[in-house]
Amino acid sequence: MPKTQYTTHLGMVDILPDESPKWRALEAIIHEEATKFDFEEIRTPILEQTELIKRGVGQLTDIVTKEIFAFTKGDSNYVLRPELTAPVVRSFVQHTLAQRGGVQKLYYIGPMFRAERPQKGRQRQFHQFGLELIGTDNPLADVECITFMMRIYQRIGIKNFTLKLNSVGDPESREGYKDVLRKYLQPHFDQLSELSQKRLEKNPMRILDSKEPEDQEFIKNAPMISDHLNEESKQHFESVKSYLDMRGIEYVIDPLLVRGMDYYTKTAFELTSSDLGSQDALAGGGRYDLLVEEIGGQPTPAVGFAAGMERLFIACEELGIELTEPKSLDLYIVSLGENARNWAIQNIHQFRETGVSASMDYQARSMKAQMKEANRENARFTLIVGDNELETGKLVLRNMLESEEQLLSFEEVFSYLNE
């Protein structure tokens, strides 16, 4: 192991040159599919105001109580964004995007930060792609959102997943249900985890999402929100299910699914995969009809999801799915001597300008060393140029796969490679 003085922080990883092609391939798929769905990309800053995240995601959530990276500089409180729904909604309100008319269909790709305990599939800097459809409470939007999410995995070939679905109800249903839940949990107060004790009064539904072992028995037997939905929430949930059926998207109802953020109303969903280990969630999302108002905008219903990109790659690895072709180069110019090197410097761009990827030696190395590099770069062709070739005007073009060579003029090489 080489001695390095500085390393990445715990849970933060470099995406190295061998790995970046698969990231670009995935990003290309996301952009392409989003365009087909008529979604527009939004990019927001990495740093947001801490208050926005506390308010948006929820004061008593794990993210806010344990996981945010936050600091103060001057008069401002900065937080490294742990998710993008609250920031996208902030942007929607700040720039009055509603005035553009219609439903805002915004997707994003980027890094998020959470101070979690790192393990396989869980990092402190990780990447998500996601979607927010802001401006309609129609269940079709929920289903369009789920369809886009599923489409990405389907296109890549990840199949062993389960779509879990629940409704966490509208505000009225939730208030009623919270009372029922408090009444059920109160007699067990002393046995609950410390965090759940704190949550019981203000936010008992958060307890259903608790990972603490001492809470599990009570969660298992808790009354279910599905039995406490009002007529409107029930109707909405039924429509989501029937549209999913219409689209042939399979799901299972999970009455305990409440998700880790406070902003959800009505639909909540999560996509899990049996190809992942204990961190088995590929993606999750839901409806958040109150968040825009919470953040200072006009009441505006919305729905969205976020998907973990590292976890998608883990699933690909488990399934032997390659997202990229092996690296290849069209042309490597092997230059022997100073004149040939100068020739290469002058001419290499003409290849690149016509779309031929081309590389050359920078260090005046031997022919053997240059051929070795051409092989390492997986070059389809090498062009061998020395004093002799420059004098005669005939260059050696070697097809590396077939081990065949031909003598061609520069113009002939050029048109041959551009065929």
Contact residues for ligand AMP, defined by CB under 6 A: 83, 114, 116, 121-123, 126, 128, 260, 281-284, 306-308, 310-311
> Based on CB atoms, which residue is closest to ligand AMP, 114 or 398?
114
Which of 270/373 has CB closer to ligand AMP?
270
β partners of residue 176: none
Cβ count within 10 A of residue 190: 6
**CB-wise, 48 or 361, nearer to ligand AMP?**
48
For residue 109, give every residue at least 6 positions away whose Cβ sits within 8 Å of its Cβ, in sequence order, or none.
27, 30, 41, 127, 128, 129, 309
**Three-class secondary structure of residue 325 per DSSP:** coil
Report the nearest approach of ligand AMP to the CB of residue 223 (Å). 24
Provide the token pair at 58. 């929820």
**Closer residue to ligand AMP, CB minimum distance, 285 or 297:** 285
Q: Cβ closer to ligand AMP: 121 or 169?
A: 121
Comparing CB distances to ligand AMP, the nearer of 127 and 398 is 127
Distance CA 303, CA 299 (A): 13
Catalogue the E-assigned strands of 20-82.
Answer: 40-41, 47-49, 70-73, 76-80
Nearer to ligand AMP by Cβ, of 261 and 400: the residue is: 261
Q: How many CB atoms lie within 10 A of CB 32?
A: 11
Q: Which two tokens stand for residue 95?
A: 């720039």
CA nearest to 141, candidates 312, 300, 309: 300
For ligand AMP, the closer of residues 116 and 254 by Cβ is: 116
What one-letter code names the amino acid at 370? Q
Please report where in the chains the tokens 């699933």 appear, as a residue: 315
Nearest residue to ligand AMP, scored by beta-carbon proximity: 308
For the CB of residue 280, give the shortest distance to ligand AMP in the complex, in Å.
9
**Nearest distance in Å: CB 311, ligand AMP:** 4
Closest distance between ligand AMP and the C-beta of residue 61, in Å? 10
CB of 283 to ligand AMP, least distance (A): 5
User: Nearest distance from residue 303's CB to ligand AMP, in Å?
Assistant: 13
Considering the complex, state which of residue 173 and residue 272 has its C-beta at the smaller distance from ligand AMP. Answer: 272
CB of 126 to ligand AMP, least distance (A): 3
- Going by C-alpha positions, the residue among 311, 250, 341 that lies closest to residue 126 is 311
φ, ψ (nearest 5 deg) of residue 385: -125, 125
Minimal distance, residue 128 CB to ligand AMP, in Å: 5
414 class by beta-carbon count within 10 Å (0-12 exposed, 13-18 middle, 19+ buried): middle
Q: How far is CA 389 from the centre of its chain?
A: 51
Going by their DSSP bridges, the two strands 379-385 and 329-335 should be labelled as parallel
Tell me the pairing of strands 302-308 and 125-134.
antiparallel
In whole angstroms, the minimum distance from the beta carbon of 134 to ligand AMP comes to 17
Segment (H or E) for 84? none
Q: Give the integer Cα–Cα distance in Å for 309 and 301.
A: 27
Question: Of the candidates 280, 298, 277, 276, which has an alpha carbon nearest to the alpha carbon of residue 289?
Answer: 298
Q: Collect all residues with Cβ–Cβ distance below 8 Å to 144 and sequence separation of at least 6.
A: 37, 133
In terms of CB distance, is 144 or 209 closer to ligand AMP?
Answer: 209
Smallest gap from Cβ 306 to ligand AMP, in A, equals 4
